[in-house]
Structure formats: C-alpha cells, structure tokens
C-alpha cells in the first residue's frame, strides 16, 4: 500500500462529501503493500468518528474493478469479516479520484499477527473455507490475473536478473506447473472466487479472534486449493528455513477441512499447489524488486524468501493421504 498518487486533504474531503460520510478529520498515507495507493481516513459525522481506507488503483482498470468490489460486498453481506465498499447516492461503489479508479471501504478492527499461533492459523483456516463457500453463488467471473498465464509472461522478463541456478529452478518449475495444469487431476479441482493473497498482513485479529480479511485486489476465479496453499506457505512455515511448522500447518489445514473437506484430487495435488504458490510469489517479488515503480513510502519485499520456500517444497513435498 505504497503511495504512488498524492491525494490532498481537500480532494479527500470532496469524495467523503459525495459519499455522505461527514467531515474529514485525518488523512494518512499507508506504507504497507506495493500495488495501490492507500490512505487511512478518519471522518466525523454527528459527533461520531468513523475510520475508512481510501484506495486509488494504480494498475487495475475501471473495467476490472467491479469484480473485486462486488465480491467484497457479496462476502460482507454474508457476514464475512471483509471490508464493505461505500456506495454513493446512485449505489455506485467504484469512484474516480485524480483520474484514477478509487474505492472507500470501512476500516476493520484489530491488528495483524505476524507471529501467528496455531489458534490464529485455525481461525484463518475456518474463515478461508467460509469465504470459498460464501462465494459459490457470486454471479460474476474474472480470471485470477496473477495465475499461470501471468507466470508464463513474466518469467522471461525477470530471467536477466537471475544467476544460473535461479534461472534453472524457475524454468524447470514453470514447465512443471504447465504440465500439472494440463492434467485431469487439476481439471477436477474445485474452483471459484479466491482471495489469492491472504498473507499474515492481510488479516486482522483481536486476541485469537479473526476480525478482518482485506486486500482482495488479486482475487479471481481459480482453484480453492491454490488459495489454501498460499496461506499454508505464509502462515504455517518457518520464515528462515521454509520448513512447515507442524502445529500451525495442522491447525490451519484441519480447521479448513472441518468447514469444507478436501477432495481426493486436492489431497493429491497439494504438494504441487504449494510449489505453485511459492513460484507465483517468487516471480512477483522478483518483478517488483528488479523493476520497481516510483512511489512514496514504497517497501519492496525480498524475493529470496519465496525462492527458499520453492526449493524446500521441491526438495521435501508435503503429502496428504487420500480417503479410501
């Protein structure tokens, strides 16, 4: 959530007025993330103070954004702890500011748990499954824009920045994932709208209660298993060695499974999807690190973390038994 586009106090105030949110009290740029411009907004109306997040979208278009915002609204209306986009008098939740698409959502309570316990992982697993199930009747569809097609297009762009060992790894893994994607087992995987980026810093807790899941702007229709693998790679691994933490891994996986049991195809392909999730974030972090955009408060992530995760997932696959 770096700041690429500066928003003045008066511009933010005008947007709040158009949304009938009251008077702007504070406007603070956010330094987290790297894709969009985000501001924390404090407003006052009738003596009540409320907090929002204002987002200006730097890469997503006006045509792409209704899927993300409508998905968030759909989930919020089904009591999932996700931000609810604010509509204007015409019912529109996609706005325009500084010539760019913009949205305002309620700011959720709690804080991220960067050192999660098994209890936090269990809460995350249950919520992820509920999110998948709640989105089954969402009637819009849009591809996961950071899926396999994007990997195939982006790997040639980042290859010049890699040494020979890294180049060999990324090429071989990309070939493997293309092979997996053509298999009948992969075709059998349940799918639907997924979050696709549910890292520890995109969830909020009060104590051990999960109070928020946010940043849906990588969402798209893909396999639910890929979404689960993204979470397992971030929430349930040792950050230095990338080795699974047995307690956290089991808590997340079992909690998810109590809400939605994995199919045999999902159990068979979990090792491959853990590799896929590691590859996806290694590629994107290489891209952001070596080809950065100018932004105030930008903090690029270290690509080596997911190179390490991928090497560990290849060397030591995590396997699950299939049901009889």
pLDDT of residue 30: 83
Q: Yes or no: say if 130 and 80 are a contact pair by the CB < 8 Å rule.
A: yes
How many whole angstroms separate alpha carbon 88 and alpha carbon 97? 14
How many whole angstroms separate alpha carbon 265 and alpha carbon 261? 12
Q: Yes or no: say if 155 and 177 are a contact pair by the CB < 8 Å rule.
A: no
Q: Give the model confidence (pLDDT) of 224-243 as tens digits.
A: 999 999 999 999 999 889 99
Q: Give the model confidence (pLDDT) of 126-167 as tens digits.
A: 999 999 999 999 999 999 999 999 999 999 999 999 999 999
Domain coordinates of the chain in residue numbers? 9-106, 118-315
pLDDT digit string (tens) for the chain, length 324 residues: 466 899 999 999 999 999 999 999 999 998 765 689 999 999 999 999 999 999 999 989 999 999 999 999 999 999 999 999 999 999 999 999 999 999 999 999 999 999 999 999 999 999 999 999 999 999 999 999 999 999 999 999 999 999 999 999 999 999 999 999 999 999 999 999 999 999 999 999 999 999 999 999 999 999 999 999 999 999 999 988 999 999 999 999 999 999 999 999 999 999 999 999 999 999 999 999 998 866 444 566 789 999 999 999 999 999 886 643
Return the CATH superfamily for domain 118-315. Answer: Aminoglycoside phosphotransferase (APH), C-terminal lobe (3.90.1200.10)
Q: Which CATH number fits domain 9-106: 3.30.200.20, 1.20.1110.10, 1.10.730.10, 3.40.50.2000?
A: 3.30.200.20
How many whole angstroms separate alpha carbon 183 and alpha carbon 177? 10
How many whole angstroms separate alpha carbon 312 and alpha carbon 279? 12
């Amino acid at each position: 959530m770096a700041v690429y586009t500066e928003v003045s106090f008066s511009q933010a105030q005008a947007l709040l007025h158009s949304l009938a949110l009251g008077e702007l009290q504070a406007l603070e740029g956010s330094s987290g993330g790297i894709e969009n411009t985000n501001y924390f907004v404090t407003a006052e109306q009738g003596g009540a103070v409320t907090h929002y997040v204002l987002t200006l979208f730097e890469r997503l278009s006006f045509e792409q954004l209704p899927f993300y915002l409508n998905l968030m609204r759909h989930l919020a209306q089904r009591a999932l702890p996700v931000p609810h986009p604010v509509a204007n008098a015409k019912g529109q939740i996609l706005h325009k500011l500084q010539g760019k698409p913009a949205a305002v959502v309620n700011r959720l309570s709690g804080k991220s748990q960067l050192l999660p316990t098994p209890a936090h992982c269990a809460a995350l697993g249950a919520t992820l499954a509920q999110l998948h199930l709640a989105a089954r009747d969402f009637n819009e569809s849009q591809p996961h824009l950071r899926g396999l097609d994007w990997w195939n297009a982006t790997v040639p762009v980042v290859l010049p920045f890699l040494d020979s060992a890294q180049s060999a790894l990324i090429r071989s893994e990309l070939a493997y994932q293309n092979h997996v994607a053509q298999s009948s087992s992969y075709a059998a995987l349940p799918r639907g709208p997924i979050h696709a980026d549910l890292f520890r810093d995109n969830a909020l807790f009060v104590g051990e209660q999960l109070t928020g899941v946010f940043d849906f702007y990588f969402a798209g229709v893909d396999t639910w298993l890929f979404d689960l693998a993204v979470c397992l790679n971030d929430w349930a691994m040792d950050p230095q060695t990338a080795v699974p933490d047995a307690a956290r891994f089991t808590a997340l996986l079992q909690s998810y499974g109590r809400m939605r049991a994995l199919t045999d195809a999902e159990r068979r392909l979990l090792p491959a999807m853990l590799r896929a999730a590691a590859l996806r974030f290694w590629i994107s972090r290489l891209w952001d690190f070596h080809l950065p955009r100018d932004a105030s408060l930008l903090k690029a992530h270290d690509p080596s973390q997911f190179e390490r995760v991928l090497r560990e997932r290849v060397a030591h696959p995590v396997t699950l038994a299939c049901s009889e």
